[in-house]
Structure 1
Amino acid sequence: MNYKIEEMKSSDWEQVANIYLDGIKTGKATFQTEVPTWKDWNNAHINLCRLVARSNNSVLGWAALSPTSSRCVYVGVAEVSIYIDEKHKGQGIGKSLLQNLITLSEENGFWTLESGIIRENTASIALHKKCGFREIGVREKVAKMGSGMWHDVVLMERRSRKVGVY
């Protein structure tokens, strides 16, 4: 499949939101229960590091960074969000998006990327490992979803070898 990794635009929001909603419906991609408005999502994510995988006019997946803290000492640390359209999973799009996001993050001074992944989301854990993330811990039974079942979150981290202390 031919696609390009490009900067996310506000005009991509409807497709990005639909992919996010599909992730919510899986019950293992996020603890969110509904898609935020563009305004709320936009305010919660770093402007410099937002990407989509695009084929023609279709968004196949997206990745973005959000700050982990408002404290100035954590300005180089961000949390990864990555979602792939259900029809396009397993085609290398996630790996391409995440690798491009890593490069873009380093170009913008980020030295640590973090992800908190629901333990049942084994595909996302494997993707992060392929892209240089390591497991740094597990938050056991940290949240429960609508079913009332408690879930663990695997904490993953990638330290840059280009930016910060390495």
Structure 2
Amino acid sequence: MISTLTVRQAALQDMGSIIRIYNQGIEDRIATLETETKDSSYMKAWFSDHQGRFSVLVAERESEIIGWASLNPYSHRCAYSGVADLSVYIDRSYRGQGVGSFLLESLHKIAKENSFHKIVLFTFPFNQGGQSLYFKMGYRQVGVFEKQGIMNGEFIDVMIMEKLL
């Protein structure tokens, strides 16, 4: 599967696939505290904020987008301009097949080219698939925010991870 995978910069015409995959992540309740699925107007505004340093990449197999990853602003404070937040979302049918690793390899290169020295991410302690990917790609656990967010009416913990580039 990996040999037929292409990673490239996302384009506006990719928004339908990006929305579909992101909404799967929202619905599955393993990758985000977001509760409401997103529509095209939301994602077009999001995409316009992800130009330049804050890249969005897509993973494509046989002309089908099967995953995406983005570098996101970590903080508005200039002291943190070298730190990016990370998002990775893979289509349900392709999770656990190396797509995330392929995306992250490319995203790390772009992050370095855009003067980021560190990437941080927030994940759930129960998201074993995500953690396996991040540890494999050289991220380390920094800590856990206890009862950081609410999911399905209950407080849940959020794990912080980082990678120095």
The alignment's C-alpha RMSD in Å is 1.3
Alpha-carbon displacement from aligned partner over 1:41-70 (angstroms, at most 9, x marks no partner): 125435442111012321010000111111
Name the CA distance, whole Å, in 2 between partners of 1:71 and 1:126. 31
Q: What runs of 5+ residues in structure 2 fail to find an aligned partner?
A: none
Whether contact under 8 Å (1:52, 1:60) holds in the other structure is yes
Contact 1:119 1:151 in 2 (8 A): no
- Which AA in structure 2 matches 1:149? E
1:7-62 CA distance string (max 9 Å, x none):
11111001000000000011111011222512331254354421110123210100
Name the SS of the counterpart of 2:121 in structure 1.
Answer: strand
Taking the aligned partners of 1:35 and 1:109, their CA distance within structure 2 comes to 30
Find runs of 4+ consecutive structure 1 residues off by over 3 angstroms.
43-48
Which residue does 1:164 correspond to in 2?
none
Identity %: 35
Aligned: 1:140 with 2:146: yes
* Contact kept? 2:139, 2:162, Cα under 8 Å: yes
Cross-structure match for 1:40? 45
Q: Tell me the residue number matched to 2:160.
A: 155
Q: 3-state SS of the aligned residue for 1:73?
A: helix
Structure 1: 5+ residue stretches without partners: 161-166
AA aligned to 1:67 is P
Any conservation in 2 of the 1:46–1:66 contact (CA below 8 Å)?
A: no
Instruction: Specify the alignment match of 1:20 in structure 2.
Output: 22
* Partner secondary structure for residue 133 of structure 2: helix
* SS at 1:69 equivalent: coil
1:84 aligns with 2:90: yes
Q: CA deviation at 1:106?
A: 0.6
Match of 1:163 in 2: none
Shift of 1:119: 1.5
Aligned residues: 159
Alignment of 1:131 onto 2:134: no
Q: Distance in 2 between matches of 1:47 and 1:30?
A: 24
**Distance in 2 between residues matched to 1:70 and 1:46, nearest whole Å:** 16
Q: Distance in 2 between matches of 1:45 and 1:8?
A: 10
Q: Deviations over 1:125-144 (max 9, x none)?
A: 11111111100010011111
User: Which TM-score applies when normalising by structure 2?
Assistant: 0.91
| Alpha-carbon distance in 1 for matches of 2:94, 2:44 | 27
State the partner residue of 2:65: 59
C-alpha separation in 1, matches of 2:48 and 2:159: 26
* 2:81 matched residue in structure 1: 75
User: More displaced, 15-24 or 27-36?
Assistant: 27-36
